[in-house]
Structure 1
């Protein structure tokens, strides 16, 4: 079986970074987006970038840039839908998504998500990590995992269902995945959570420190 197609999600507003494209921020010798591409490309059979606005700012990429098909910045599910529509045009049956601001995600992301989907009629899996320390305290010990809804395996067969849900106002990823019996793939969070993402200038500083020691 072929590997899934890969979709990098970069359709957010980056309000905590002052707007603009977080993926184009520099981390070491290359952009956050370049780090993500380098990790995802070997794991998938093709790539696209989900980004809104003028695609000309990504002219150096050698793969498609596709915008949301749902107006109003409807969140990551809108990007997933755009990716599923793109995959359907290519005759693919599933996609893997990764966020453009998460430079250290696992190099076996795709293999682990696909493995977790075995036996599912429609492969639908989100990446998770264990909650530790402050996260556990904040949840009162009730929630033992963090779900990472921008990192998942998604079936093309459910794209029209997702379109209907988005047009009806759904925005929360896990409400839709839970409805369709989505599964979870658990990744280790030591020495740090590999799904750490850059939301603030402080996060970018931490990413630079992590890069130096990785």
Structure 2
């Protein structure tokens, strides 16, 4: 199972970044299209607002704990959601990375090996929003959350993790769109190509 977390979109200038248009298509639709070919099921984490995502045809669930309580709340909610349906794995990806590699799930699975999770290492830097977790990590993630861990980077430091390495062109495929300026630059680069 895979899920697309939504965020507060603070750097994007507010609004719902997942619904920002890229070539007349919402960012999240780009991500969903790439995910559905890689995993058995997809669900959307909506941070409290669900109605705007229901038209995409995938189940929608909200964070564990108060809305906007950080990405780890979404990861915990995803682990619990997937476990209740019998899934053993959860892959997380952001809603603002429209060109995720077609083999992302496969690469994360291969990198994880016997570890409990795998994270993307992009050009030598941890990018923990691209990750694969075993659902049996629910208790460990809940404990970390209860201790105040809110950032995936901090969570990665606590878990038994391996890393899928992405460099060059494949690293660029993991680029996310954090600001409206990023979106404009992304559109310009697509038009140039």
**Both proteins in one fold, TM over 0.5:** yes
Structure 2 match to 1:212: 191
Q: Is contact 2:128-2:156 (8 Å) kept?
A: no
Structure 1 match to 2:27: 32
Say whether residues 1:184 and 2:180 are aligned partners. no
Listed as ranges, the gaps of 5+ residues in structure 2 are none
TM-score (norm 1): 0.84
Matches within 5 A, 1:103-182: 103-120=98-115, 122=116, 124-130=117-123, 145-182=124-161
1:15-72 residue CA offsets vs partner (Å, 9 max, x unmatched): 1222121010110131111110111110000010011233111221211111111225
Q: After TM superposition, which residue ranges in structure 1, 4 or more long, deviate above 6 angstroms? A: none
Q: Is contact 1:70-1:167 (8 Å) kept?
A: no
> Which residue among 48, 53, 58 is the counterpart of 2:48?
53
1:155-192 residue CA offsets vs partner (Å, 9 max, x unmatched): 11111111121112112323322322211100123386
Listed as ranges, the gaps of 5+ residues in structure 1 are 131-144
CA RMSD of aligned residues (A): 1.7
Q: Is contact 2:48-2:63 (8 Å) kept?
A: no
Once residues 147 and 67 of structure 1 are traced to their aligned partners in structure 2, the CA distance between those partners, rounded to angstroms, is 26
Equivalenced residue count is: 193
Once residues 36 and 156 of structure 2 are traced to their aligned partners in structure 1, the CA distance between those partners, rounded to angstroms, is 25
